[in-house]
């Protein structure tokens, strides 16, 4: 651990002069994906002894006292490296003598995590979507493995021969021993929020100010009556020994700011709950958060689209746009009106020789992006039928371009065929307001 910290920071945290120096050195460093790979590999190569049982891919980070530990969980989804920065912070605090109690660092899905970093090393410049399959990992035959955050309800009693069930049992064993869990995720889009927490007081001083509420209920709303899988947090939440439990989304998977967000939140969480005397910089002591009340998912058919849709239509996520100058940065294709119907044209071709008048740009709405009531968010080609919101919201888990996500139908891939609009998710809309927590 000492060696790892030296390699990454070129600094010996054991010789840190004071708290200000610790903060300056730790947070001045922009953690790269190769840095985080080293952290992941270090934990994957470690194990934790628990009642005579060996838990692989888990590392004890020593605090001054050995009260029941706090677990920091990273890479429950393999392609979500930001949580490793939270673990690295705990390591540095331990080295500097600033960690009060023990922490166990755990890699949620070591198989997927290892595959993810191998894929990254192999093609470091390929966009993050090409690594989406490593959310869960791939089998030897290239099939998508089960999601480590979808645990069968009978995971403790079923025959456990597969990686998925065995790891669920190991994480559960850690949960039985812990006082608290910090579960750090990242997202396909720009999503920085607290997804769940057990007690309001855990969020004191949180640098992340967006708080999802009713997420579990919103997801359950369309689940079948016989629930066969649970998330890890649902399994751990009722345990009486778990005093603290928080889950966060630290931003877009490979955004350079995501590790910083994860480490900043981890510091606030550790300080608030007595794990370190080191106070975060710029601690926000307000109990007012931006609340995102999550509603059950809506499909494309839940949008307002009139009666002009035709059988051959394909529905694209889009926004109104009439000129090249106003095409959003992230768009490379526009929808133009040609002889009374609509066609797609690349922006480059349109600039060179337009096929007609530009009316829309193909546009991927981002996570938590505010969308107004009546806003056109999708357009059918060739009929030009518009899909408009019935009320304003900010969406999460938005429908994603099928061109980027070809393996996971759960993303709600667009374009959507006319006869599928009632089946494909558009998003989980959130109503945004202020929530006051009870500190
Ligand atoms: Zn995740």
Which tokens is 159 given?
């025959």
Domain ranges for the chain? 2-285, 300-427
Q: Please give the Cα distance from 356 to 76 (Å, whole number).
A: 48
CATH 3.40.630 corresponds to the domain 2-285? yes
Contact (Cβ atoms closer than 8 angstroms) between residue 108 and residue 171: yes
Task: Find the 305 Cα to ligand 1 centroid distance in Å.
Answer: 33
Q: Is the pLDDT of residue 242 over 80?
A: yes
Identify which of 421, 399, 419, 420 has the alpha carbon closest to the alpha carbon of residue 410. Answer: 399
The chain-wide mean pLDDT, for the chain, equals 95
Mean pLDDT on 163-175? 95
Task: Find the 54 Cα to ligand 1 centroid distance in Å.
Answer: 25
Task: Find the 31 Cα to ligand 1 centroid distance in Å.
Answer: 19
Mean pLDDT on 136-163? 91
Residue-wise pLDDT for 272-283, tens only, equals: 999 999 999 877
Point out the least confidently predicted range of 6-15, 147-156, 171-180, 379-388. 147-156
pLDDT band at 371 (very low <50, low <70, confident <90, very high): very high
Task: Find the 121 Cα to ligand 1 centroid distance in Å.
Answer: 21
Q: Please give the Cα distance from 146 to 332 (Å, whole number).
A: 34
Task: Find the 185 Cα to ligand 1 centroid distance in Å.
Answer: 4
Task: Find the 250 Cα to ligand 1 centroid distance in Å.
Answer: 10
Task: Find the 408 Cα to ligand 1 centroid distance in Å.
Answer: 14
Task: Find the 148 Cα to ligand 1 centroid distance in Å.
Answer: 9
Point out the least confidently predicted range of 76-80, 100-104, 401-405, 416-420. 401-405
| Residues 219, 186, 379: CA angle, nearest 5 degrees | 65
DSSP 97-135: T---EEEEEEES-HHHHHHHHHHHHHSTTS-GGGGGGGG
**% of the chain beyond a pLDDT of 90:** 90
pLDDT band at 361 (very low <50, low <70, confident <90, very high): very high
Task: Find the 423 Cα to ligand 1 centroid distance in Å.
Answer: 23
What pLDDT, on the 0 to 100 scale, is given for residue 330? 87
Residues with CB under 5 A from ligand 1 (ion): 77, 80, 185
Residue-wise pLDDT for 301-331, tens only, equals: 999 999 999 999 999 999 999 999 999 998 9
Q: Is the pLDDT of residue 410 over 90?
A: no
H or E stretch including 192?
Answer: strand 192-197
What pLDDT, on the 0 to 100 scale, is given for residue 283? 78
């Amino acid at each position: 651990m000492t060696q790892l910290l030296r390699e990454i920071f070129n600094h010996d945290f054991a010789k840190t002069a004071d708290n200000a120096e610790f903060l300056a050195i730790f947070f001045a460093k922009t953690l790269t994906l190769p840095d985080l790979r080293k952290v992941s590999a270090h934990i994957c190569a470690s194990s934790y002894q628990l009642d005579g049982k060996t838990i692989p891919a888990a590392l004890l980070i020593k605090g001054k006292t050995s009260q029941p530990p706090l677990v920091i969980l990273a890479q429950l989804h393999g392609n979500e490296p930001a949580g490793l920065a939270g673990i690295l912070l705990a390591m540095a605090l331990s080295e500097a003598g600033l960690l009060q109690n023990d922490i166990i660092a755990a890699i949620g899905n070591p198989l997927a995590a290892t595959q993810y970093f191998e894929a990254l090393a192999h093609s470091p410049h390929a966009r993050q979507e090409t690594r989406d399959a490593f959310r869960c990992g791939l089998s030897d035959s290239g099939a998508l493995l089960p999601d480590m955050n979808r645990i069968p309800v009978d995971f403790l009693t079923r025959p456990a021969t597969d990686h998925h069930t065995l790891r669920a049992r190991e994480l559960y064993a850690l949960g039985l021993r812990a006082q608290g869990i910090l579960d750090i995720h990242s997202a396909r889009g720009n999503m920085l929020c607290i997804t769940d927490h057990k007690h309001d007081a855990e969020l004191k001083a949180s640098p992340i100010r967006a708080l999802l509420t009713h997420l579990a209920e919103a997801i359950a709303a369309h689940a079948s009556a016989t629930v066969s899988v649970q998330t890890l947090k649902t399994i751990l939440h009722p345990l009486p020994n778990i005093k603290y439990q928080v889950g966060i989304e630290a931003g877009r998977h490979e955004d350079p700011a995501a590790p910083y967000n994860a480490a900043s939140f981890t510091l606030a969480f550790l300080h608030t709950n007595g794990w370190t005397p080191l106070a975060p910089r710029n601690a926000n002591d307000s109990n007012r958060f931006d609340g995102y009340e999550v509603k059950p998912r809506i499909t494309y058919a839940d949008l307002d689209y009139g009666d002009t849709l035709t059988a051959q239509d394909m529905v694209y996520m889009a926004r109104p746009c009439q000129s090249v100058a106003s095409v959003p940065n992230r768009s490379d294709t526009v929808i133009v009106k040609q002889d009374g119907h609509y066609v797609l044209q690349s922006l480059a071709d349109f600039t060179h020789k337009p096929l007609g008048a530009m009316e829309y740009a193909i546009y991927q709405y981002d996570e938590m992006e505010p969308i107004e009531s009546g806003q056109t968010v999708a357009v059918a080609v060739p009929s030009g039928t518009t899909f408009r919101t019935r009320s304003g919201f900010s969406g999460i888990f938005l429908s994603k371009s099928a061109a980027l996500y070809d393996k996971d139908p759960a993303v709600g891939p667009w374009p959507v065929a006319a006869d599928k609009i009632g089946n494909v998710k558009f998003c989980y809309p959130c109503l945004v307001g202020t929530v006051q927590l009870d500190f």
